[in-house]
Structure 1
Amino acid sequence: MTDLGPLNYFLGISVTSTSSGMFLSQRTYAADIRERADMTGCQPSRTPVDTGSKLSATGPPVANPTLYRSLAGALQYLTFMRPDISYAVQQICLFMHDPREQHYSALKRILRYIQGTLDHGLQLYVSSTTSLTAYSDADWAGCPSTR
């Protein structure tokens, strides 16, 4: 094996090391997703999901389901460094087998949110603590079609 030096970029993840830790970002990968969707010049959205409405399996089908599936899969990989979009991406991935126009609109909203938050990522701090703390917020009964 060869030592390639300090980690800078690996599998679409950019790593910036400092004395306080590491910052992990997928800025370039996110920009590539927006380019594939032809949304590089779109207006940013303040939130990744519309909290007032729930997605359902009704409506006209998407004109290009292959593009929808490709973009949804790419967004799934983006959630590794962007937990802020995890819920929204999970919602659009529920309908990958039969995407509808409302699902594609939700996907485009996520891409508009990413447009305004390209610099987001994960900051990992140096710590001597060996315990792990996790938080979860689940709304199992909120969706009428999957509860």
Structure 2
Amino acid sequence: MENCRPVQTPLELQPNYDVTKECIVNAKPYRELVGSLMYACLTTRPDIFAAVNFYSQFQTDATEVLWVGLKRVLRYLEGTFHLGLWFKGISDVPLLRYTDADFTNRPGRKSVRWHLFEMYGVAVCWATKK
């Protein structure tokens, strides 16, 4: 993926999650890539969290289409390598919390909620739950 063509977003607007095709979990390192990307989003790249969360749902029945979508996250990281967490402390507000929820937009899925805490303008804690 070193010489890949970068993309502007880690996830397509309406990703294809068709699991009726042949499973590739044992043929390609799908789970390993999900784990590596999960580590990245928990430590320095929270901007890929939604995409990693989406693709982690298919670790037992991933298809070639999902594998291509997961590699899109790598293409996004290649194009945004200069981004990361910057701790500048630029705000006078000591603590802020942001929250949001997705009240399940697909049948058979659960709703997702998330929160983010900022201290003096710097993201210090974030999480998402089903």
Q: TM-score, normalised by structure 1?
A: 0.64
Distance 2:74 2:2 in 1: 9
Residue in 1 that maps onto 2:13: 51
Deviation digits for residues 35-86 of structure 1, max 9, x if unmatched? xxxx111000111111123524332211645611001100000002111110
| Matched residues, number | 109
Partner amino acid, structure 2, of 1:133:
L
In structure 2, how many angstroms separate the alpha carbons of the residues matched to 1:131 and 1:58?
49
Worse overlay, 132-141 or 87-96: 132-141
Amino acid paired to 1:101? E
The residue type paired with residue 107 of structure 2 is P
Distance 1:128 1:91 in 2: 32
Look up the match of 2:3. Answer: 41
Between the two proteins, what is the percent identity of the paired residues? 36
Task: Specify every segment of 5 or more residues in structure 1 that has no aligned partner in the other structure, as ranges.
Answer: 1-38
Matches within 5 A, 1:1-147: 39-62=1-24, 64=26, 67-80=29-42, 81-126=44-89, 131-147=94-110
* CA RMSD, 1 decimal: 2.2
Alpha carbons of 1:131 and 1:55: their partners in 2 closer, same or farther (altered >3 Å)?
A: farther
Q: CA deviation at 1:109?
A: 0.7
Provide the residue aligned with 1:19 in structure 2. none
The higher-RCO structure (CA 8 Å, 6+ apart) is 1
The answer for unaligned runs of 5 or more in structure 2 is: 111-130
Query: Contact (CA 8 Å) 2:48, 2:73: kept in 1 or not?
Result: yes
Aligned to 1:31: none
Which residue of structure 2 aligns with residue 15 of structure 1? Answer: none
